[in-house]
Amino acid sequence: MADFVTGIDIGSSSIKAVVLSHREKPPKLIAFGAVATPQPGMVSETDMDLEVVGHAIKNLMVSLKASNSLVVVSLPESKIFTRVINDFPYLSDDELASSIHYSAEEFVPLPSDEVNLYWQIINRSKERNNTTVFVVASPKNSVAKYLKVLEMAKLKPIAIETDLVAVTRALVGSNPFAPTTLIIQLGASSTDLAVVSKSLILLTRSIGTGGLALTRVISQYLNFEPQQAEEYKKVYGLLEDQLGGKIYQTLKPLAEVIVSEARRVMQAFQTKYPQNPIKRVVLAGGGAKLPGLVIYLATNLGLEIQEADPWAYVGKDKSLQVRQLANTMQYAVAVGLAMYEE
C-alpha cells in the first residue's frame, strides 16, 4: 500500500481524510471522508479524550479502506510559528542551519530545545548575496501529542506538515505561473491566511476568529440554541436582503475582523514585496461556504475572489459525480497532505 497516501486533517470541528494513489501522475483520488471531531478534541490534555479522537481516526481509516496506507498529518497554524527570513547573506547549508537556529529565537517564544525547526529555501543567490528561507518552528510537545493520537489509531505518519503548507500544495500545486494569491482558509476555530507566490509561501497569519465564533454570535445576540444558530448561519450568512438583514448585521462585525486581517496581510506583503502585487484571493475551509461571503470580500478587498477547488491538481475517475465533489472546500488541507511526496 506504499503507493497510497492518506492525508489526515484533524480539525477542531471535523476530522477529514483523503486517500490518493501515487501510482499515477497526477496522484489519483481513491477515497475521502470525514467524521465530527469528538470534543474537546486535540485541545484536551488527558489521554482519555485523546484516545477517543484516535478511535475516531481509526474508524474513519477503516471506512475508507485506508488503514494500510502511508499517512501524512498536519499541525494547525495556531500551534506553530512560521516566518520568512529574507535578509540572510549568501550562506552554505551549514551556515544557514546555524543562522536559522539563531534567528528562531526572535520569533519563537519558547526555549530552543522545545521546538523542532524545519525550513525550505525560497531563494539563494551568490550574485545578490542573499538567502531567503521559509521557517516553521513546531513545539515538540504539540508534535508529540499528534503522534500519540495517531499511535492510538495504530498509525505512524511519514510526515507532519502545517495546515497552510498543505492547503498551498492543494490549491496552487507547483504551478510556476499561478498568480500571486492570498489564501484565506476559514475553519471552525481559526482563520488562516497565506500569501503564495509561484507556489512558495511568503507570509502567513492566523487568527482565532472562525466559523464557531460566527455561530456563537448568532446564538448570543438572537438567543438561539447553538444548533439552530448554526443552521441560520449556513442559510442566511452574509446575505443582506434576508430576514431583514438580521443575521447579516449580527455577523458583520466578525466578518469585518476577517477583512481587516486580510487587509493587514495584504499591506504587509505589499510593503515587503512592492514588485509582486496580489492578484486574487482563494477561499478554503468549511467557513468559505458562508452565503454572501464571496461578494462581501470582493466588495471590501477589491480583489477577485475564488472559491477553492481542492481537487484541481488530483486525478479523478470519470465515474465520480460532479456533485460528490461539490462544496468540499473543507478538504483542501487533507488533499494537500495526501499529495505529499518524499
Ligand X SMILES: Nc1ncnc2c1ncn2[C@@H]1O[C@H](COP(=O)(O)OP(=O)(O)OP(=O)(O)O)[C@@H](O)[C@H]1O
Task: Give the binding site for ligand X (CB under 6 A).
Answer: 11-14, 76, 187-190, 210-212, 215, 230, 233-234, 237, 285-287, 289-290, 330
Q: Which does 82 bind (CB under 5 to 8 A by kind): Mg ion, ligand X, none?
A: none
Q: Which is nearer to ligand X, 42 or 100 (CB)?
A: 42
Q: How far is the CB of 10 from ligand X (least distance, A)?
A: 8
How far is C-alpha 254 from the chain's CA centre? 20
Q: Which residues sit opposite 75 in a β-bridge? A: 162
- Interface with Mg ion (CB under 5 A), residue total 2
Binding of residue 286 to Mg ion (CB under 5 A): no
What phi-psi label fits residue 51: left (phi over 0), alpha (psi between -120 and 50 degrees) or beta? alpha
Q: Cα separation of 183 and 28, whole Å? A: 24
Nearest-CA neighbor of 320 among 120, 31, 95?
31
Binding of residue 287 to Mg ion (CB under 5 A): no
Q: Which does 233 bind (CB under 5 to 8 A by kind): Mg ion, ligand X, none?
A: ligand X
Q: Cα separation of 157 and 148, whole Å? A: 11
- Angle, helix 226-236 to helix 211-221, in steps of 10 degrees: 110
Q: How far is the CB of 13 from ligand X (least distance, A)?
A: 3
Q: Which residues sit opposite 28 in a β-bridge? A: 21, 315
Q: How far is the CB of 163 from Mg ion (least distance, A)?
A: 6
Q: Which does 211 bind (CB under 5 to 8 A by kind): Mg ion, ligand X, none?
A: ligand X
Binding of residue 310 to Mg ion (CB under 5 A): no
Q: Which residues sit opposite 183 in a β-bridge? A: 194, 282
Cell numbers standing for residue 169 = 500544495
Binding of residue 187 to Mg ion (CB under 5 A): yes
Q: Which is nearer to ligand X, 227 or 271 (CB)?
A: 227
Q: Which does 310 bind (CB under 5 to 8 A by kind): Mg ion, ligand X, none?
A: none
Binding mask 11-50 toward Mg ion (x if CB under 5 A, else -) reads x---------------------------------------
Q: Which does 290 bind (CB under 5 to 8 A by kind): ligand X, Mg ion, none?
A: ligand X
Q: Which is nearer to ligand X, 13 or 250 (CB)?
A: 13
Strands 14-21 and 70-75: unpaired
Residue 117 burial (CB count, 10 A): 16
Q: Which residue has the cell 507532519?
A: 160
Instruction: Return the DSSP state at 326.
Output: T
Q: Which is nearer to Mg ion, 187 or 336 (CB)?
A: 187
Q: Cα separation of 148 and 168, whole Å? A: 26
Q: How far is the CB of 47 from Mg ion (least distance, A)?
A: 23
Q: Which residue has the cell 477529514?
A: 16
Q: Cα separation of 138 and 157, whole Å? A: 16
Q: How far is the CB of 255 from Mg ion (least distance, A)?
A: 19
Q: How far is the CB of 229 from ligand X (least distance, A)?
A: 10
Q: Cα separation of 119 and 278, whole Å? A: 24
Q: Which does 58 bind (CB under 5 to 8 A by kind): ligand X, Mg ion, none?
A: none
- Angle, helix 140-152 to helix 47-63, in steps of 10 degrees: 60
Q: How far is the CB of 238 from Mg ion (least distance, A)?
A: 21
Q: Which is nearer to ligand X, 189 or 242 (CB)?
A: 189
- Reported as half-sphere exposure (CB side, CA atoms, 13 A), residue 179 has a value of 11
Q: How far is the CB of 94 from ligand X (least distance, A)?
A: 37
Binding site residues, Mg ion, CB under 5 A: 11, 187
